[in-house]
Structure 1
Amino acid sequence: MLDKLSLVVTAPEIVLLVMACVIALVDLGVKSRLRGLTYWLTLGTLAVVAFAAADMAMDGRTFYAFGRMVVSDPMGNWLKCFAAIAMMITLVYGRPYAADREMLRGGEMFTLALFALLGMFVMISASNFLVIYLGLELMTLSSYALVALRRDNEVATEAAMKYFVLGAMASGFLLYGMSMLYGATGSLDIDEVFAAIGSGRINHQVLVFGLVFIVAGLGFKLGAAPFHMWIPDVYHGAPTAITLMIGSAPELAAFAIAIRLLVEGMIPLAIDWQQMLMVLSVASLLVGNLAAIAQSNLKRMLAYSTIAQMGFVVLGLSAGVVNGTTANAQFAYSASMFYIVTYVLTTLGAFGIILLLAREGFESDEIADLAGLNQRSPLYAGIMAVCMFSLAGVPPLVGFYAKLLVLQALVASGQALYIGLAIFAVIASLIGAFYYLRVVKVMYFDSPITATTVSAPADVRAVLSLNGALVLILGILPGGLMALCAEAVVRTLAT
């Protein structure tokens, strides 16, 4: 039933849909190489949507719409706000790169980016299995097209094919798991599924069978091992601007559907899915950190780094229910939310530097391409160093506090298993520090390949500087973002 509340709750999605169509039409008359009008209209749309989502999040209330198929709650609205900001930053960094490679001959990049973000918003707001799947398909189909945007580039086309095939398989896993849960509970609504599972009158084996497929699908979307095989090839093969687009904001949407499905829908089965998540986290930390050491390509290194970082996010999700009680839930889930938000912020900065250097006529995606960057541009070398140290978890940067929060949530459980996992995560992080520090060493101690200085458009330079500063400032003063994540999770779980 379409009522006023439904329109208000879905206002950000409606704005995105309308403006994506308007921008596609307006772009037909744009002739400039950098698609100036299309670009600024897109950024304006994203700014409005981010502001609207933040305003709804600060209201603090939870609303259901469209027959309880859509939910507006603080956690979802903050994730929407951060996803819109991440997409804005991605387009600022990516526009010069895309223009140099003739990816802006039409406005498809901006329109597809808006449709991908719309898919993420639908995923984040979904309170129904089919709505989650619709959002997922809208996001992934847009992402496949974005990866293949350079149609004349064999590597990008190959990456798009791999992404499409493996993505379709993962979507099938998720859909099959949802169908099993529907068959067991008789409902597609997450709150009704929760009530049915809590009643205890449903065949436990059928539920767990469906749950296995759902966890596999979520593992793929998050990029957790052993469902990680698409990440290195797609990150490496896709145009770098698109690599950043699929490696930042979509992670926030994947985290949201993990919370919606596992926590809001199936927390009575936590003893089953937490064990699966523990296996995924250990595998991700091992595979990600060990494989990244062997990489000479910066994009592949960051791809394996993503797998390792997702290991921490999944680790936080696995510590919410201890001995049948949810006392630790708010700490564990807010730690994971803080981790994923700060990870996206740091990734934006790291890929922003790669995109900036790539404007010199080559991809600049080898670690050796950063040689002597400090001598050519101390500012950009400093930003990259801050991002690398943050990903490694070096204090006082924000990545350190993200890891610390997850480890505190594990230790707070008081269980030997979780304390053992925390120790393992620390050891894995120490191994991972090697490849991050190698990048810093190359920038500061190796001789530069070229003597040319690095130049950037004013908008890129301003956003990149702010990006690097936030990684440092949120590390020194993390309390505000921590409190925001904690309050959002508490309010969301309370409903």
Structure 2
Amino acid sequence: MTENPNLIPIYAEIFLVVATSAILLIDMFLSEAKRGITYAMSLLALVGCAWFTFADFSAGTTTYTFYNMVVSDPMGNLLKLFTYLTVGVTFIYSRQYTHERGMLGGSLGGEFYVLALFSMLGQMVMISANNFLSIYLGLELMSLATYALVALRRDHSMSTEAAMKYFILGALASGFLLYGMSMLYGATGTLDLTVMAKAIASGSINPQILVFGVVFIVAGLAFKLGAVPFHMWVPDVYQGAPTSVTLLLGAAPKLATFAITMRLLVEGLLPLAFDWQQMLMILAVLSLVVGNLTAIAQTNLKRMLAYSTIAQMGFVLLGLMAGVTGGDSTNAPAAYSAAMYYSITYVLTTLGTFGLIMVLSRAGHEAEELADFKGLSKRSPWFALVMTMLMFSLAGVPPLMGFAAKLAVLQSVLATGQLWLTVFAVMASLVAAFYYLRVIKTMWFDEPVDTAPIKVALDKNVVLGLNAALLIVLGVMPGPLLDACITAMRTTLAS
């Protein structure tokens, strides 16, 4: 059997492989003073990927290729576009930070950009995967690049320790996911998610084997999302990694993980929704409790944001577990699109928070302790205002986009009739407001400890301003993005 594969759905991936390989080769001949060329080429590579993906997204169709191993659909293309945006903004925020810490000089060269692009390539493969093999290929490509990124500062003991923890626990999680895939393959005899869904729906397969496999699949996905009790790596890696790498870990990969969660659980295992939804509900409740309560005790801002991430992923899981009620999937498009919208808004807010930490850091000083933000309003009212908006958005205060995201998820949960779960999520958000407001209080009402002048490049200042403006625009007018998520999800589910 032969097939002439349709290459159009993977033009962006092909372009990125060629562009990243060219950047790697060109960078070998550049001196540290000319490392800006690598930076510019990396941004151009993202623009090229966005051009190919947007053309595919505009078509609004679903295309399968490479024997159904790859799928191009509106959901995947929309997530890819935000992935490019996230990585590009991360590069802009990180440029000065990485240069001051010697991450772009000496023998390292432009490996920060190359590894980040290869990690993004893995995320793109994950987002478009429709087969166990392609999902795992993308996951490992992303993971191996991020392991190296965390350890990029080889002379920094905390980064090395964080990389070791991340590598060991990441390998364990990959083992969970791979074992779950092998169980499902053994039960259904296929690696294709579409064929698997039909085989499971036929009712001819032993349900005990399927549920056993689903348990391991959910465990592996929970690790990548950072959900409790698979969250142990998140605070240590967030704190130990350079802030630029923390942002690469905490933003774009969440979109890719959401995508494979949709591919595996919804597109491949929807007939088993009753079983995996119960697991997701437990993970969501635990994440909201542990994440919010532990964040209160943190004085390191990166650690606090790590536990905040754990709690935020609890909301994403709430959306994912609200799709099917008693065998009725009427609420599925609204619930899954709410979870997708929440993931996107969380990533956009995370860009601003870690971006601001990098802006306030300087050579020899990491502005990651809560004390570093004391009296920020007196040093720079503009940065204090931006950080205030970011904290309010994470807390879900209107009219910022974090409120619209939380409201969409809570409405989808309430539509399932689980009033207690909706009230619990609201109460958890009230607890979270304490540690977000503590940051705001520190900036506006405490006396500054650090009086060093804040010098910021124009491009970072402009992007940070746009990042903050986006919080308001998408909060006041959430309709366009939410409608795009709903339309994309309906098209994807219909295929």
**Normalising to structure 2: TM-score of the pair?**
0.98
Instruction: Report the Cα distance in structure 2 between the residues aligned to 1:147 and 1:360, rounded to whole angstroms.
Output: 19
| Aligned partners of 2:101 and 2:363 also within 8 Å | no
* Structure 2 match to 1:30: 30
* Structure 2 match to 1:207: 210
* Structure 1 match to 2:284: 281
Q: Alpha carbons of 1:278 and 1:102: their partners in 2 closer, same or farther (altered >3 Å)?
A: same
Instruction: Report the Cα distance in structure 1 between the residues aligned to 2:115 and 2:363, rounded to whole angstroms.
Output: 26
1:380 matched to 2:383: yes
Instruction: Report the Cα distance in structure 2 between the residues aligned to 1:3 and 1:152, rounded to whole angstroms.
Output: 49
Instruction: Report the Cα distance in structure 2 between the residues aligned to 1:197 and 1:3, rounded to whole angstroms.
Output: 30
Deviations 1:382-435 (A, max 9, x none): 11111100000000000001000000001112x2xx221110000000000000
Give the drift of 1:360: 5.2
* Structure 2 match to 1:492: 492
Q: Alpha carbons of 1:275 and 1:293: their partners in 2 closer, same or farther (altered >3 Å)?
A: same
Match of 1:233 among 233, 236, 241: 236
* Structure 2 match to 1:131: 134
Instruction: Report the Cα distance in structure 2 between the residues aligned to 1:489 and 1:34, rounded to whole angstroms.
Output: 44
Give the drift of 1:29: 1.7
| Aligned partners of 1:190 and 1:265 also within 8 Å | yes
Secondary structure of the residue that 2:191 maps to in structure 1?
Answer: coil
Structure 1: 5+ residue stretches without partners: none
| Aligned partners of 1:371 and 1:448 also within 8 Å | yes
Instruction: Report the Cα distance in structure 2 between the residues aligned to 1:303 and 1:359, rounded to whole angstroms.
Output: 22
Deviations 1:47-100 (A, max 9, x none): 221232222122110000101100000000110110111000111111111100
How do 1:168-317 and structure 2 match up within 5 A?
168-317=171-320
Secondary structure of the residue that 1:10 maps to in structure 2?
Answer: helix
| Aligned partners of 1:47 and 1:85 also within 8 Å | no
Instruction: Report the Cα distance in structure 1 between the residues aligned to 2:440 and 2:313, rounded to whole angstroms.
Output: 22
| Aligned partners of 2:396 and 2:429 also within 8 Å | yes
Instruction: Report the Cα distance in structure 2 between the residues aligned to 1:248 and 1:90, rounded to whole angstroms.
Output: 9
Q: Alpha carbons of 1:34 and 1:384: their partners in 2 closer, same or farther (altered >3 Å)?
A: farther
* Structure 2 match to 1:104: 104
Match of 2:322 among 316, 319, 324: 319
Give the CA RMSD over aligned residues.
1.0
Instruction: Report the Cα distance in structure 2 between the residues aligned to 1:445 and 1:67, rounded to whole angstroms.
Output: 61
Query: Which one-letter code corresponds to 2:209 in the other structure?
Result: V
Instruction: Report the Cα distance in structure 2 between the residues aligned to 1:374 and 1:29, rounded to whole angstroms.
Output: 44
* Structure 2 match to 1:443: 443
Instruction: Report the Cα distance in structure 1 between the residues aligned to 2:310 and 2:55, rounded to whole angstroms.
Output: 33
Instruction: Report the Cα distance in structure 2 between the residues aligned to 1:51 and 1:470, rounded to whole angstroms.
Output: 22
Instruction: Report the Cα distance in structure 1 between the residues aligned to 2:322 and 2:482, rounded to whole angstroms.
Output: 18
**Normalising to structure 1: TM-score of the pair?**
0.98
| Aligned partners of 1:33 and 1:104 also within 8 Å | no
* Structure 2 match to 1:70: 70
Deviations 1:189-213 (A, max 9, x none): 0001001000000000000000000
Q: Alpha carbons of 1:53 and 1:152: their partners in 2 closer, same or farther (altered >3 Å)?
A: same
| Aligned partners of 2:322 and 2:412 also within 8 Å | yes
How do 1:361-440 and structure 2 match up within 5 A?
361-413=364-416, 415=417, 418-440=418-440
1:352 matched to 2:355: yes
* Structure 2 match to 1:19: 19
Give the drift of 1:381: 1.1
Give the drift of 1:453: 2.9
* Structure 1 match to 2:337: 334
Instruction: Report the Cα distance in structure 2 between the residues aligned to 1:387 and 1:76, rounded to whole angstroms.
Output: 27
Query: Which one-letter code corresponds to 1:453 in the other structure?
Result: P
| Aligned partners of 1:292 and 1:305 also within 8 Å | yes
Give the drift of 1:32: 3.3
Identity %, equivalent residues: 59
* Structure 1 match to 2:42: 42
1:157 matched to 2:160: yes
| Aligned partners of 1:123 and 1:135 also within 8 Å | yes
Structure 2: 5+ residue stretches without partners: none
Give the drift of 1:163: 0.1
Give the drift of 1:359: 1.9
Instruction: Report the Cα distance in structure 2 between the residues aligned to 1:425 and 1:58, rounded to whole angstroms.
Output: 36
Instruction: Report the Cα distance in structure 1 between the residues aligned to 2:291 and 2:372, rounded to whole angstroms.
Output: 22
Query: Which one-letter code corresponds to 1:27 in the other structure?
Result: D
| Aligned partners of 2:5 and 2:66 also within 8 Å | no
Give the drift of 1:251: 0.1
